[in-house]
Structure 1
Amino acid sequence: MSVRLRTALLPLLFLAPTLSPAEAQSGTRPQDVIITYYNALGHKNYAAAYALWDRQGQNSGKSYAAFKNGFAQTYATYVAITGPVRIEGAAGSLYATVPVKVTAQLKNGQQQSFCGNYVVRKNNTGGSAASQVWRIDRATLR
């Protein structure tokens, strides 16, 4: 990839508002956790990104090492929220579906695009503050 192209794409990393993990988790908007997730990935902070998945990262379907390694060939990632967020309640939890378009710029210059949804979950039955935050439950990206 040319330096010119990289320079042109670099500003796209910062299109989404920057939220700390604490702000995203205490925020009332489910999409904030997705914005924070991609902000962490953009800054190569894989530990913070992994921690945004429910069950201490287990819902990503990967160990932390495998999760981090999955981005080894990625130069940058970008996310756009593409539609309204739908929130539904079920058995003591709130689930929100966040529609997204993800673009990944690989180190070899290739670009990949994926569309789909993230589902984020939050406990709504009381309990500890840690259980009252939005976490990524699952993703369907194609």
Structure 2
Amino acid sequence: MLIAFCLAQVLVFNRVHVFNCVTPLLYVYFAIIFPRNYPKWAILLWCFTIGVIMDAFSNTPGVASASMTLIGVLQPILLELFLPRDADEKIKVSASVLGIGKFVTMSSILTFIFCLVFFTLEAFSFFDWIYWLESVVGSTILTLILIFTFECFRK
């Protein structure tokens, strides 16, 4: 599944530029759905690896890997905030397990932070801050729409 999503991102989604600034960054979905008992070092390693693969094929040197690594750090922290204290250790992150509201909130926070860091590092300046803001907000919304679409079909 990861390979299919990476190929879809590289071959299809990287070529989608709505209003010339909004690009779906669907690979952040993998950082969101790591289960609770997954080792934190492994989450960081997977997120960094996915980021490096995206950087290699998207011509964004270091941008995706830095953004994904930050999300890999934040995901276990946010997951603990959204889970009840007596939740099972082997709980998987999904809308059906967390509940729609909590999953939407957690996904929205992580996706917004990812897009904020991604486009800030990509622009590396705030010279054209309106374009930067449109890219961050638009890409966050489009990515969330795709994440929730895939989550509806996930078992």
TM-score by length of 1: 0.29
Structure that is richer in helix per residue: 2
> Which one has a larger percent strand, Structure 1 or Structure 2?
1
